[in-house]
Chains A and B, each alone.
Chain A
């Protein structure tokens, strides 16, 4: 099983623990990853609000390269997933738009034929790899661990771009995975809401209120930790949790895991190898509860 790998900027920038953890678990699962050469940022929805054409053209460029590799695209970022899917829908729906974009790509000898179907690792585990295969590799079931799912907006909305109609199971994919790994799902209203990251530098008070609300809600329901397939959510929920706690005037102390880290822990990989020590919120109590020494 081989994929054109799209890691996204954050997994190599502000959340550097994500990239190696993803590579590690993919290797164990027999997922071969070949990085798309010189891939560019998807625009994260930010570029699109100013200039959709520029943003979409950059995505088409990545897609064209993956087509040339003859491989389906795998990403490890909810935001990248959503932005790619939305750009893809606009291009597939409007041949004139795609032709216009291809006219810009032609100068470097690229063409996007419209066949890409970018998929998040989360979906690939369920749809392509299969949960049986995942379960086979679980050597340290997460029994007794209460885990709150946090999706990130872009992997759940807009449903049209994400093919939810055809894949309704995607809406509960994170819960499915948590259960497969042996942990208990902490279901809560905030799981598909916004983490607040997009407005961090614009309205920090609101952004922190969102972090505080979601983390404290999960904590109140007895969560040991939260898991997210989105590194941007992770940045806010983990990196800014101390600030959000201060605003909330309450200590929350909820560790936030990246999706591949959760899987890695269940596979018996050490917290150190998965980069858990790089988190802002202390992950040690969770590791101890799991019986996973550093």
Chain B
């Protein structure tokens, strides 16, 4: 098949380094991958085209880049599946990380974050006489996360990292989960309290927007976002609840559990730690006032759905720890 590959290029040694687009026409067999096309271009048309690759089999994790705007492994992407109506495909370097040249990016920030989560087992207490014992199920469960090949596709497409480089990000957090979920890590019950405490701080698990970009980008099914959600559950269960993220989740669940629907007025108030958090409350005031004057304030008196007992029964049964008397329903002052 005859295809056009549109590549975003960058040469740091040019007089005025600036990224630009270059198109290549190339003929390939129908079953070719995007990587096949790039290698053919480099070998036959333009030796200056720079990219990373090694295994060509989705194992080494070198060839993550953006294909038609979304991160993927070039060697795992069949060209025929990404061509548009004009038989063209757009290839760019991975996002978030700084471009070195053409399709190669600087992975230093990636590795810094992996290092920051201390990616090695940290068992506490006295060493056992023999080996550390872990059940089969617990390790099988972890095989999904250990499948990570550190290609950086998730980091490339992370919506938070795009605006905030301090966020630990999907790859490092999934790596952290690999240890918090390991029964050998942490205290005798397998709870990694120190890690969960650290991860609950700003730049950690609660900064994720749940946008699912990393789940789509990961070529190995690691589903980093799902691991971050599991970390949130672990952190809350370990008692690390004094933060806006954990409060938000609990307040949301309480509102829906008691009334069937979301009380939009109470939620932000409870999330920032209640009406007593004057600073945070004031920061919402201009927006609240604007909403009020435009006639779009949520109803002050939040109504329950009909036969709300049925919802509350489920609440009591499925979320017994949170179920309790309604506090401050529908009024920040009551």
Contacts and interface: CB of A to CB of B under 8 A. Distances in A.
A203 B159 CA distance: 13
Determine which residue in B206, B250, B295, B314 has the highest number of CB atoms from chain A within 10 A of its CB, and name it: B314
Contacts of B286: 242-243
B291 to A, nearest CB: 6
A20 interface: no
Contact of B248 (A13, A46, A205): A46
Contact of A202 (B69, B207, B261): B207
Interface string B179-210: 00000000000000000000000100011111
A108 B307 CA distance: 10
A186 B289 CA distance: 32
Contact of A9 (B206, B207, B244, B262): B262
Contacts of A113: none
A58 B253 CA distance: 11
A54 B314 contact: yes
Given A50-B249, A58-B256, A201-B244, A13 B268 contact: no
Interface stretch (A26-34, A119-127, A136-144, A276-284): A276-284
A1 interface: no
A86 B297 CA distance: 30
A57 B317 CA distance: 11
Contacts of B249: 46-47, 49-50
Interface string B102-118: 00000000000000000
Size band of the interface chain B makes with A: 35 or more
A43 to B, nearest CB: 7
Interface stretch (B34-42, B49-57, B212-220): B212-220
Nearest to B307: A38
A278 B295 contact: yes
B319 A51 contact: yes
Contacts of B169: none
A13 B262 contact: yes
A78 B260 CA distance: 19
A202 B244 contact: yes
A287 interface: no
B163 A40 contact: no
Contacts of A279: 294, 296
Contacts of A54: 253, 257, 314-315, 318-319
Determine which residue in B233, B250, B295, B318 has the highest number of CB atoms from chain A within 10 A of its CB, and name it: B318
Contacts of B257: 54
Given A14-B291, A153-B212, A199-B209, A40 B260 contact: yes
Interface stretch (A175-183, A188-196, A219-227): A188-196
B256 A40 contact: yes
B215 A158 contact: yes
A169 to B, nearest CB: 14
Contact of A206 (B207, B262, B311): B207
Contact of B233 (A49, A193, A204, A209): A49
Contact of A50 (B164, B250, B268, B305): B250
Contacts of A198: 209-211
A155 B4 CA distance: 31
Contacts, number: 174
Contacts of A158: 212, 215-216
Nearest to A200: B268
Interface residues of A, number: 58
Contact of B294 (A43, A200, A243, A280): A280
A53 interface: yes
A157 B287 contact: no
Interface string B229-271: 1001100100000011100111011001100111010011001
B334 interface: no
Contacts of A243: 286-287
A190 B164 CA distance: 16
A240 B264 CA distance: 15
B122 interface: no
A277 B293 CA distance: 11
B160 interface: yes
A280 B212 CA distance: 29
A194 B253 contact: no
B307 A202 contact: no
Contacts of B252: 43-44, 46-47
Given A54-B315, A154-B212, 13 more contacts: A14-B297, A46-B249, A49-B249, A50-B253, A108-B307, A157-B216, A158-B215, A201-B248, A206-B160, A210-B209, A242-B287, A279-B294, A280-B296
Nearest 10 CB-CB pairs, A to B? A157-B212, A209-B163, A201-B271, A194-B211, A194-B159, A54-B318, A38-B306, A9-B262, A13-B298, A40-B260
Interface of A: 9-10, 13-17, 37-41, 43-51, 53-54, 57-58, 61, 104, 107-108, 153-154, 157-159, 189, 193-194, 196, 198-206, 209-210, 213, 239-240, 242-243, 277-280
10 contacts: A10-B262, A38-B260, A41-B261, A44-B252, A48-B229, A153-B212, A199-B160, A203-B207, A240-B287, A242-B290
